[in-house]
Amino acid sequence: MNDNNGLPLVTPRVVPVLDESFRPAVLANRAFREQVRKSGSALPIRIALEQADGSVYHFHTDIFSDDRSQAAGNYTYVERIVKFLLWSRGGWRIYFDGPATLAARLAAHYREDATGKFDSDMVGAKMFDHALEVVNTPDLPPERAQAKPLGRHLKGCRIGFDLGGSDRKTAAVMDGQVVFSEETVWDPYFHPDPEYHFEGIMDSLKKAAAHLPRVDAIGGSAAGIYVNNRVKVASLFRGVPPDVFNTRVKNLFLEIKKEWNSVPFEVVNDGEVTALAGSMALGKNSVLGIALGTSTAGGWVNGEGNITSWINELAFVPVDYHPNAARDEWSGDYGVGAQYFSQQAVGRLLPAAGIEAPKDLPLPEKLKLVQALMAEGDARARKIYETIGVYLGYQIAHFADFYDLRNLLILGRVTSGQGGDTIVAGAATLLKTEFPELAERIELHVPDEKMKRHGQAIAAASLPEID
Protein backbone atom coordinates (compact mmCIF):
# COMPACT_ATOMS: atom_id res chain seq x y z
CA MET A 1 0.00 0.00 0.00
CA ASN A 2 1.36 3.42 -0.95
CA ASP A 3 -1.44 5.62 0.32
CA ASN A 4 -2.74 6.55 3.75
CA ASN A 5 -6.15 8.19 3.47
CA GLY A 6 -5.05 10.38 0.59
CA LEU A 7 -1.47 10.92 1.74
CA PRO A 8 0.95 9.28 -0.73
CA LEU A 9 3.50 6.99 0.91
CA VAL A 10 7.02 6.33 -0.33
CA THR A 11 8.65 2.93 -0.59
CA PRO A 12 12.08 3.30 1.02
CA ARG A 13 15.22 2.82 -1.03
CA VAL A 14 16.47 0.53 1.75
CA VAL A 15 13.70 -1.90 2.72
CA PRO A 16 13.94 -3.52 6.17
CA VAL A 17 14.64 -7.19 5.56
CA LEU A 18 11.80 -8.32 7.86
CA ASP A 19 9.27 -5.55 7.11
CA GLU A 20 8.60 -4.93 3.44
CA SER A 21 5.53 -2.80 4.19
CA PHE A 22 7.50 -0.21 6.19
CA ARG A 23 6.74 3.30 4.96
CA PRO A 24 8.96 5.83 6.78
CA ALA A 25 7.29 8.95 8.11
CA VAL A 26 10.18 11.13 6.96
CA LEU A 27 9.89 10.07 3.33
CA ALA A 28 6.13 10.66 3.19
CA ASN A 29 6.46 14.10 4.78
CA ARG A 30 9.30 15.22 2.54
CA ALA A 31 7.59 13.94 -0.61
CA PHE A 32 4.36 15.71 0.41
CA ARG A 33 6.15 19.01 0.97
CA GLU A 34 7.94 18.72 -2.37
CA GLN A 35 4.65 18.07 -4.17
CA VAL A 36 3.12 21.08 -2.43
CA ARG A 37 6.04 23.25 -3.51
CA LYS A 38 5.78 22.12 -7.13
CA SER A 39 2.02 22.74 -7.19
CA GLY A 40 2.58 26.49 -7.12
CA SER A 41 -0.36 26.96 -4.74
CA ALA A 42 1.09 26.09 -1.34
CA LEU A 43 -1.09 27.03 1.62
CA PRO A 44 1.02 27.97 4.68
CA ILE A 45 -0.22 26.71 8.05
CA ARG A 46 1.09 27.47 11.50
CA ILE A 47 0.77 25.36 14.64
CA ALA A 48 1.48 26.38 18.22
CA LEU A 49 1.37 24.21 21.34
CA GLU A 50 0.78 25.89 24.69
CA GLN A 51 1.77 24.31 27.99
CA ALA A 52 0.29 24.90 31.43
CA ASP A 53 3.20 27.14 32.49
CA GLY A 54 2.70 29.42 29.49
CA SER A 55 5.46 27.96 27.30
CA VAL A 56 4.53 28.08 23.61
CA TYR A 57 6.23 26.24 20.75
CA HIS A 58 5.66 26.93 17.05
CA PHE A 59 5.84 24.75 13.95
CA HIS A 60 5.26 25.95 10.37
CA THR A 61 4.62 23.92 7.21
CA ASP A 62 2.66 24.04 3.94
CA ILE A 63 -0.27 22.01 2.62
CA PHE A 64 -2.29 21.92 -0.61
CA SER A 65 -5.01 24.48 -1.15
CA ASP A 66 -8.51 23.02 -1.03
CA ASP A 67 -9.03 23.27 -4.79
CA ARG A 68 -6.28 20.70 -5.48
CA SER A 69 -7.05 16.99 -5.70
CA GLN A 70 -3.97 16.25 -3.56
CA ALA A 71 -5.64 18.13 -0.69
CA ALA A 72 -7.16 14.76 0.28
CA GLY A 73 -3.85 14.02 2.03
CA ASN A 74 -3.76 17.24 4.02
CA TYR A 75 -5.47 15.86 7.12
CA THR A 76 -3.29 12.77 7.51
CA TYR A 77 -0.17 14.87 6.98
CA VAL A 78 -1.24 17.44 9.59
CA GLU A 79 -2.57 14.94 12.13
CA ARG A 80 0.69 12.93 12.13
CA ILE A 81 2.77 16.09 12.53
CA VAL A 82 0.62 17.29 15.42
CA LYS A 83 0.99 13.80 16.93
CA PHE A 84 4.78 14.16 16.80
CA LEU A 85 4.60 17.66 18.29
CA LEU A 86 2.30 16.53 21.11
CA TRP A 87 4.59 13.71 22.20
CA SER A 88 7.88 15.55 21.67
CA ARG A 89 6.98 19.05 22.88
CA GLY A 90 3.83 18.47 24.91
CA GLY A 91 0.97 20.87 25.58
CA TRP A 92 -2.77 21.09 26.03
CA ARG A 93 -3.91 23.92 23.76
CA ILE A 94 -3.25 23.55 20.03
CA TYR A 95 -3.45 26.80 18.06
CA PHE A 96 -4.04 26.09 14.38
CA ASP A 97 -3.70 28.80 11.76
CA GLY A 98 -5.13 26.95 8.77
CA PRO A 99 -8.36 25.79 7.16
CA ALA A 100 -11.31 25.58 9.55
CA THR A 101 -12.27 22.18 8.17
CA LEU A 102 -8.90 20.72 9.20
CA ALA A 103 -9.12 22.32 12.64
CA ALA A 104 -12.58 20.82 13.11
CA ARG A 105 -11.34 17.34 12.10
CA LEU A 106 -8.46 17.58 14.56
CA ALA A 107 -10.77 18.66 17.37
CA ALA A 108 -13.16 15.79 16.60
CA HIS A 109 -10.23 13.34 16.53
CA TYR A 110 -9.25 14.22 20.10
CA ARG A 111 -12.87 14.04 21.29
CA GLU A 112 -14.09 10.95 19.45
CA ASP A 113 -11.35 8.65 18.09
CA ALA A 114 -9.81 6.15 20.51
CA THR A 115 -6.23 7.10 19.68
CA GLY A 116 -7.03 10.80 19.79
CA LYS A 117 -8.76 10.44 23.14
CA PHE A 118 -5.67 8.61 24.45
CA ASP A 119 -3.50 11.56 23.41
CA SER A 120 -5.94 14.03 24.94
CA ASP A 121 -6.09 12.14 28.22
CA MET A 122 -2.38 11.36 28.56
CA VAL A 123 -0.75 14.51 27.18
CA GLY A 124 -3.49 17.02 27.85
CA ALA A 125 -5.32 16.00 31.01
CA LYS A 126 -2.69 14.00 32.88
CA MET A 127 0.47 15.91 31.95
CA PHE A 128 -0.88 19.45 31.60
CA ASP A 129 -4.16 19.27 33.58
CA HIS A 130 -6.43 20.10 30.60
CA ALA A 131 -8.04 18.01 27.89
CA LEU A 132 -6.63 18.88 24.47
CA GLU A 133 -8.19 21.98 22.95
CA VAL A 134 -7.90 23.03 19.30
CA VAL A 135 -8.19 26.77 18.61
CA ASN A 136 -8.54 27.79 14.97
CA THR A 137 -7.08 31.28 14.75
CA PRO A 138 -4.57 33.37 12.77
CA ASP A 139 -3.47 35.01 16.04
CA LEU A 140 -0.93 32.60 17.50
CA PRO A 141 0.62 33.58 20.84
CA PRO A 142 4.32 34.43 20.57
CA GLU A 143 6.78 31.62 21.11
CA ARG A 144 7.94 31.42 24.72
CA ALA A 145 10.54 28.72 25.17
CA GLN A 146 11.83 27.82 28.59
CA ALA A 147 15.09 26.05 29.32
CA LYS A 148 17.03 25.43 32.50
CA PRO A 149 20.25 23.76 33.59
CA LEU A 150 19.86 20.15 34.70
CA GLY A 151 22.15 18.32 37.09
CA ARG A 152 25.93 18.34 36.76
CA HIS A 153 26.27 18.70 40.56
CA LEU A 154 28.88 16.19 41.73
CA LYS A 155 29.99 17.31 45.20
CA GLY A 156 29.05 15.29 48.25
CA CYS A 157 27.68 11.84 49.02
CA ARG A 158 24.85 11.08 46.66
CA ILE A 159 22.56 8.26 45.58
CA GLY A 160 21.48 7.92 41.96
CA PHE A 161 18.71 5.59 40.79
CA ASP A 162 17.08 4.65 37.51
CA LEU A 163 13.71 2.88 37.39
CA GLY A 164 13.03 0.87 34.25
CA GLY A 165 10.30 -1.52 33.26
CA SER A 166 12.37 -4.66 33.86
CA ASP A 167 15.05 -3.57 36.34
CA ARG A 168 15.97 -0.78 38.73
CA LYS A 169 19.54 0.48 39.04
CA THR A 170 21.06 2.23 42.03
CA ALA A 171 24.49 3.70 42.70
CA ALA A 172 26.34 5.35 45.56
CA VAL A 173 28.42 8.29 44.35
CA MET A 174 31.06 10.26 46.28
CA ASP A 175 32.29 13.47 44.64
CA GLY A 176 31.46 12.11 41.20
CA GLN A 177 32.99 8.65 41.74
CA VAL A 178 30.81 5.53 41.90
CA VAL A 179 31.63 3.47 45.00
CA PHE A 180 28.75 0.99 44.66
CA SER A 181 26.21 0.05 42.03
CA GLU A 182 23.53 -2.62 41.78
CA GLU A 183 20.92 -3.73 39.25
CA THR A 184 17.78 -5.46 40.54
CA VAL A 185 15.20 -7.23 38.41
CA TRP A 186 11.60 -6.19 39.05
CA ASP A 187 8.26 -6.14 37.22
CA PRO A 188 6.46 -2.89 38.08
CA TYR A 189 4.14 -2.46 35.09
CA PHE A 190 1.02 -4.24 36.22
CA HIS A 191 1.29 -4.34 40.01
CA PRO A 192 -1.91 -2.76 41.36
CA ASP A 193 -0.46 -1.97 44.81
CA PRO A 194 2.07 0.92 44.79
CA GLU A 195 3.53 -0.49 47.98
CA TYR A 196 5.41 -2.87 45.67
CA HIS A 197 7.04 0.11 43.99
CA PHE A 198 7.69 1.95 47.25
CA GLU A 199 9.35 -1.01 48.94
CA GLY A 200 11.45 -1.83 45.88
CA ILE A 201 12.79 1.71 45.57
CA MET A 202 13.46 2.00 49.29
CA ASP A 203 15.30 -1.33 49.31
CA SER A 204 17.65 -0.17 46.56
CA LEU A 205 18.25 3.20 48.19
CA LYS A 206 19.12 1.57 51.52
CA LYS A 207 21.63 -0.76 49.87
CA ALA A 208 23.35 2.21 48.23
CA ALA A 209 23.30 4.25 51.43
CA ALA A 210 25.12 1.45 53.27
CA HIS A 211 28.21 2.31 51.18
CA LEU A 212 28.22 6.02 52.04
CA PRO A 213 29.21 7.80 55.26
CA ARG A 214 26.09 9.95 54.88
CA VAL A 215 23.48 10.82 52.26
CA ASP A 216 23.59 14.43 51.08
CA ALA A 217 21.25 14.15 48.09
CA ILE A 218 19.23 11.65 46.03
CA GLY A 219 18.56 11.93 42.31
CA GLY A 220 16.61 9.57 40.13
CA SER A 221 15.28 8.89 36.68
CA ALA A 222 12.18 6.94 35.73
CA ALA A 223 9.96 6.41 32.74
CA GLY A 224 7.19 9.02 32.75
CA ILE A 225 6.51 12.70 33.34
CA TYR A 226 7.40 14.27 36.69
CA VAL A 227 6.79 17.84 37.83
CA ASN A 228 8.29 18.99 41.13
CA ASN A 229 8.84 15.34 42.07
CA ARG A 230 5.16 14.56 41.56
CA VAL A 231 4.13 11.78 39.19
CA LYS A 232 1.99 13.06 36.32
CA VAL A 233 2.09 10.07 33.95
CA ALA A 234 4.27 6.97 34.32
CA SER A 235 4.13 3.58 32.65
CA LEU A 236 5.68 2.08 35.79
CA PHE A 237 2.31 2.50 37.50
CA ARG A 238 0.03 1.36 34.69
CA GLY A 239 -1.46 -1.37 36.83
CA VAL A 240 -2.45 0.96 39.67
CA PRO A 241 -6.19 1.84 39.71
CA PRO A 242 -6.86 5.55 39.01
CA ASP A 243 -8.18 6.32 42.49
CA VAL A 244 -5.13 4.72 44.14
CA PHE A 245 -2.85 6.50 41.68
CA ASN A 246 -4.32 9.85 42.71
CA THR A 247 -4.13 9.17 46.44
CA ARG A 248 -0.81 7.33 46.67
CA VAL A 249 1.29 7.41 43.51
CA LYS A 250 1.22 11.12 42.68
CA ASN A 251 3.17 11.97 45.82
CA LEU A 252 5.14 8.72 46.10
CA PHE A 253 8.52 10.37 45.62
CA LEU A 254 7.68 13.12 48.10
CA GLU A 255 6.95 10.33 50.58
CA ILE A 256 10.31 8.71 49.77
CA LYS A 257 12.06 12.06 50.20
CA LYS A 258 10.48 12.43 53.64
CA GLU A 259 11.77 8.97 54.60
CA TRP A 260 15.29 10.25 53.83
CA ASN A 261 15.05 13.26 56.13
CA SER A 262 14.04 15.53 53.26
CA VAL A 263 17.54 15.73 51.76
CA PRO A 264 17.71 17.47 48.35
CA PHE A 265 15.80 15.11 46.08
CA GLU A 266 15.05 15.23 42.36
CA VAL A 267 13.38 12.72 40.05
CA VAL A 268 12.96 13.39 36.33
CA ASN A 269 12.15 11.57 33.13
CA ASP A 270 14.67 8.83 32.33
CA GLY A 271 15.16 10.13 28.82
CA GLU A 272 16.29 13.51 30.11
CA VAL A 273 18.87 11.83 32.33
CA THR A 274 20.00 9.71 29.38
CA ALA A 275 20.62 12.85 27.34
CA LEU A 276 22.29 14.56 30.31
CA ALA A 277 24.58 11.55 30.84
CA GLY A 278 25.52 11.67 27.18
CA SER A 279 26.19 15.39 27.25
CA MET A 280 28.36 15.02 30.37
CA ALA A 281 30.31 12.05 29.00
CA LEU A 282 30.77 13.45 25.48
CA GLY A 283 31.36 17.04 26.47
CA LYS A 284 28.86 18.03 23.76
CA ASN A 285 25.40 19.60 23.53
CA SER A 286 22.47 19.32 21.09
CA VAL A 287 22.18 15.72 22.27
CA LEU A 288 19.11 13.57 21.71
CA GLY A 289 19.22 10.41 23.79
CA ILE A 290 17.16 7.41 22.77
CA ALA A 291 17.01 4.30 24.94
CA LEU A 292 15.76 1.05 23.41
CA GLY A 293 14.53 -0.78 26.47
CA THR A 294 11.19 -2.07 27.71
CA SER A 295 9.73 0.82 25.76
CA THR A 296 11.39 3.80 24.05
CA ALA A 297 12.73 6.61 26.22
CA GLY A 298 13.97 9.93 24.90
CA GLY A 299 15.61 13.08 26.20
CA TRP A 300 16.96 16.31 24.75
CA VAL A 301 19.79 18.60 25.82
CA ASN A 302 19.75 21.75 23.70
CA GLY A 303 22.65 23.66 22.17
CA GLU A 304 23.27 25.54 25.43
CA GLY A 305 23.47 22.33 27.46
CA ASN A 306 20.07 22.83 29.11
CA ILE A 307 16.81 20.92 29.10
CA THR A 308 13.59 22.45 27.85
CA SER A 309 10.02 21.87 28.97
CA TRP A 310 9.57 19.41 26.08
CA ILE A 311 8.36 15.97 27.17
CA ASN A 312 10.28 13.90 24.55
CA GLU A 313 8.07 10.82 24.95
CA LEU A 314 9.45 9.07 21.87
CA ALA A 315 7.51 5.86 22.50
CA PHE A 316 4.48 7.55 20.93
CA VAL A 317 5.90 9.63 18.08
CA PRO A 318 5.10 8.42 14.53
CA VAL A 319 7.70 6.27 12.77
CA ASP A 320 5.80 4.30 10.11
CA TYR A 321 2.93 5.82 8.11
CA HIS A 322 1.61 2.55 6.70
CA PRO A 323 -2.00 2.41 7.98
CA ASN A 324 -1.61 -1.30 8.76
CA ALA A 325 1.64 -0.81 10.67
CA ALA A 326 2.06 -2.47 14.06
CA ARG A 327 -0.17 -0.96 16.73
CA ASP A 328 1.01 0.08 20.15
CA GLU A 329 -0.70 -2.06 22.78
CA TRP A 330 -1.24 0.89 25.15
CA SER A 331 -2.32 3.77 22.93
CA GLY A 332 -3.75 1.63 20.12
CA ASP A 333 -2.11 3.89 17.53
CA TYR A 334 -0.26 2.61 14.50
CA GLY A 335 3.40 2.96 13.59
CA VAL A 336 4.66 4.68 16.76
CA GLY A 337 8.07 4.41 18.40
CA ALA A 338 7.53 1.71 21.00
CA GLN A 339 6.88 -0.91 18.32
CA TYR A 340 10.14 -0.07 16.51
CA PHE A 341 12.76 0.75 19.14
CA SER A 342 12.28 -1.52 22.15
CA GLN A 343 11.95 -5.07 23.40
CA GLN A 344 8.46 -4.93 21.90
CA ALA A 345 10.03 -4.49 18.46
CA VAL A 346 12.24 -7.54 18.98
CA GLY A 347 9.26 -9.62 20.09
CA ARG A 348 7.18 -8.45 17.15
CA LEU A 349 9.87 -9.41 14.63
CA LEU A 350 10.46 -12.93 15.97
CA PRO A 351 7.88 -14.66 13.72
CA ALA A 352 9.07 -12.80 10.60
CA ALA A 353 12.63 -13.92 11.40
CA GLY A 354 11.52 -17.53 11.75
CA ILE A 355 12.46 -17.76 15.42
CA GLU A 356 10.01 -19.73 17.54
CA ALA A 357 9.33 -18.72 21.12
CA PRO A 358 6.41 -19.42 23.47
CA LYS A 359 3.77 -16.70 23.12
CA ASP A 360 3.66 -16.23 26.88
CA LEU A 361 7.45 -15.82 27.17
CA PRO A 362 8.10 -12.36 28.70
CA LEU A 363 9.65 -9.79 26.38
CA PRO A 364 12.93 -9.58 28.35
CA GLU A 365 13.34 -13.34 27.89
CA LYS A 366 12.59 -13.08 24.18
CA LEU A 367 15.30 -10.44 23.92
CA LYS A 368 17.75 -12.71 25.78
CA LEU A 369 16.92 -15.50 23.33
CA VAL A 370 17.69 -13.27 20.34
CA GLN A 371 20.87 -11.97 21.96
CA ALA A 372 22.07 -15.53 22.59
CA LEU A 373 21.33 -16.51 18.99
CA MET A 374 23.14 -13.41 17.74
CA ALA A 375 26.21 -14.33 19.80
CA GLU A 376 26.16 -17.74 18.08
CA GLY A 377 26.11 -16.11 14.64
CA ASP A 378 22.48 -16.94 13.89
CA ALA A 379 21.41 -15.22 10.63
CA ARG A 380 17.78 -14.99 11.79
CA ALA A 381 18.73 -12.94 14.84
CA ARG A 382 20.93 -10.69 12.71
CA LYS A 383 17.94 -9.89 10.48
CA ILE A 384 16.06 -8.56 13.50
CA TYR A 385 18.85 -6.15 14.36
CA GLU A 386 19.34 -5.19 10.71
CA THR A 387 15.64 -4.35 10.48
CA ILE A 388 15.77 -2.16 13.61
CA GLY A 389 18.88 -0.45 12.18
CA VAL A 390 16.95 0.54 9.05
CA TYR A 391 14.04 1.77 11.19
CA LEU A 392 16.47 3.87 13.22
CA GLY A 393 18.24 5.37 10.21
CA TYR A 394 15.00 6.68 8.75
CA GLN A 395 13.78 7.86 12.14
CA ILE A 396 16.96 9.84 12.79
CA ALA A 397 16.14 11.82 9.64
CA HIS A 398 12.59 12.27 10.96
CA PHE A 399 13.93 13.50 14.32
CA ALA A 400 16.08 16.01 12.45
CA ASP A 401 12.92 17.67 11.09
CA PHE A 402 11.85 18.45 14.68
CA TYR A 403 15.12 18.75 16.65
CA ASP A 404 18.27 20.80 15.91
CA LEU A 405 20.08 17.49 16.13
CA ARG A 406 23.87 17.24 16.23
CA ASN A 407 24.48 14.22 18.47
CA LEU A 408 22.41 11.08 18.92
CA LEU A 409 23.12 8.84 21.89
CA ILE A 410 21.85 5.29 21.40
CA LEU A 411 21.58 2.94 24.34
CA GLY A 412 19.27 0.56 26.17
CA ARG A 413 19.02 -3.18 26.72
CA VAL A 414 18.16 -3.88 23.07
CA THR A 415 21.52 -2.40 22.02
CA SER A 416 23.59 -4.69 24.26
CA GLY A 417 26.02 -7.08 22.62
CA GLN A 418 26.67 -7.64 18.94
CA GLY A 419 23.11 -6.73 18.02
CA GLY A 420 23.62 -3.14 19.12
CA ASP A 421 26.63 -2.80 16.84
CA THR A 422 24.50 -4.06 13.95
CA ILE A 423 21.72 -1.57 14.71
CA VAL A 424 24.05 1.43 14.88
CA ALA A 425 26.08 0.41 11.83
CA GLY A 426 22.88 -0.08 9.85
CA ALA A 427 21.52 3.31 10.87
CA ALA A 428 24.80 5.03 9.98
CA THR A 429 24.95 3.32 6.57
CA LEU A 430 21.36 4.28 5.81
CA LEU A 431 22.00 7.93 6.67
CA LYS A 432 24.95 8.01 4.27
CA THR A 433 22.82 6.37 1.55
CA GLU A 434 19.55 8.29 1.90
CA PHE A 435 20.48 11.48 3.80
CA PRO A 436 24.16 12.29 3.19
CA GLU A 437 23.74 15.87 4.41
CA LEU A 438 22.51 14.55 7.78
CA ALA A 439 25.26 11.95 7.95
CA GLU A 440 27.73 14.84 7.78
CA ARG A 441 25.98 16.79 10.53
CA ILE A 442 24.83 14.17 13.05
CA GLU A 443 27.21 12.04 15.09
CA LEU A 444 25.97 8.70 16.42
CA HIS A 445 27.29 7.75 19.83
CA VAL A 446 27.16 4.48 21.76
CA PRO A 447 28.14 4.64 25.44
CA ASP A 448 31.33 2.85 26.42
CA GLU A 449 31.29 0.28 29.21
CA LYS A 450 32.05 2.88 31.88
CA MET A 451 29.16 5.03 30.77
CA LYS A 452 26.84 2.03 30.44
CA ARG A 453 27.62 0.94 33.97
CA HIS A 454 27.83 4.30 35.70
CA GLY A 455 26.92 7.17 33.37
CA GLN A 456 23.18 7.17 34.03
CA ALA A 457 23.69 6.71 37.77
CA ILE A 458 26.19 9.58 37.99
CA ALA A 459 23.93 11.84 35.94
CA ALA A 460 20.91 10.95 38.09
CA ALA A 461 22.88 11.48 41.30
CA SER A 462 23.99 14.89 40.00
CA LEU A 463 20.42 16.19 39.66
CA PRO A 464 19.86 17.76 43.11
CA GLU A 465 21.74 20.88 44.08
CA ILE A 466 22.99 20.89 47.64
CA ASP A 467 22.50 24.24 49.37
Sorted by where each begins, the domain ranges of the chain are 3-145, 146-467
Which one of 3.30.420.40, 3.40.50.2300, 3.20.20.140, 3.40.47.10 gives the CATH number of domain 146-467? 3.30.420.40
pLDDT given at position 452:
63
* SS3 call for 3: strand
Question: How many CA atoms within 13 Å lie on the side-chain side of 83?
Answer: 27
Q: Where are the beta strands (DSSP E) in 87-156?
A: 93-97, 133-136, 147-148
pLDDT given at position 138:
97
pLDDT given at position 257:
96
Task: With a cut of 70, say whether residue 155 has pLDDT above it.
Answer: yes
pLDDT given at position 365:
95
Share the mean pLDDT of the chain: 93
Q: How far apart are CA 252 and CA 242, in angstroms?
A: 14
Interval 356-365 mean pLDDT: 92
Q: Where are the beta strands (DSSP E) in 77-213?
A: 93-97, 133-136, 147-148, 157-163, 167-174, 177-185
**CB neighbour list of residue 392: distance below 8 Å, 6 or more residues apart:** 340, 341, 410, 423, 424, 426, 427, 430
Under 8 Å between Cβ of 48 and 95: yes
Q: What percent of the chain has pLDDT over 70?
A: 99
Question: How many CA atoms within 13 Å lie on the side-chain side of 223?
Answer: 26
Tell me which H or E stretch contains 460. Answer: helix 456-461
Under 8 Å between Cβ of 7 and 19: no
> What φ, ψ does residue 21 adopt, rounded to 5°?
-90, 0
Under 8 Å between Cβ of 26 and 321: no
Question: How many CA atoms within 13 Å lie on the side-chain side of 87?
Answer: 28
Q: Where are the beta strands (DSSP E) in 92-144?
A: 93-97, 133-136
pLDDT bucket at 294, cuts 50 / 70 / 90: confident
**CB neighbour list of residue 378: distance below 8 Å, 6 or more residues apart:** none
Task: With a cut of 70, say whether residue 454 has pLDDT above it.
Answer: no
- Which of 157-161, 162-166, 281-285 is least confident? 162-166
pLDDT given at position 103:
98
Model pTM score: 0.89
What confidence tens digit (pLDDT) does each residue in 37-77 have? 999 889 999 999 999 888 999 999 999 998 898 999 999 99
What confidence tens digit (pLDDT) does each residue in 387-419 have? 999 999 999 999 999 999 999 999 888 998 999
Task: With a cut of 70, say whether residue 214 has pLDDT above it.
Answer: yes
Cα–Cα nearest to 291, from 259, 320, 315 = 315
pLDDT given at position 310:
92
The DSSP letter of residue 314 is: G
**CB neighbour list of residue 452: distance below 8 Å, 6 or more residues apart:** 411
Task: With a cut of 90, say whether residue 313 has pLDDT above it.
Answer: yes
pLDDT given at position 450:
65
Task: With a cut of 70, say whether residue 449 has pLDDT above it.
Answer: no
* SS3 call for 353: helix
pLDDT given at position 1:
58
Cα–Cα nearest to 425, from 440, 447, 401, 446 = 446
Interval 184-197 mean pLDDT: 91
Interval 203-221 mean pLDDT: 96
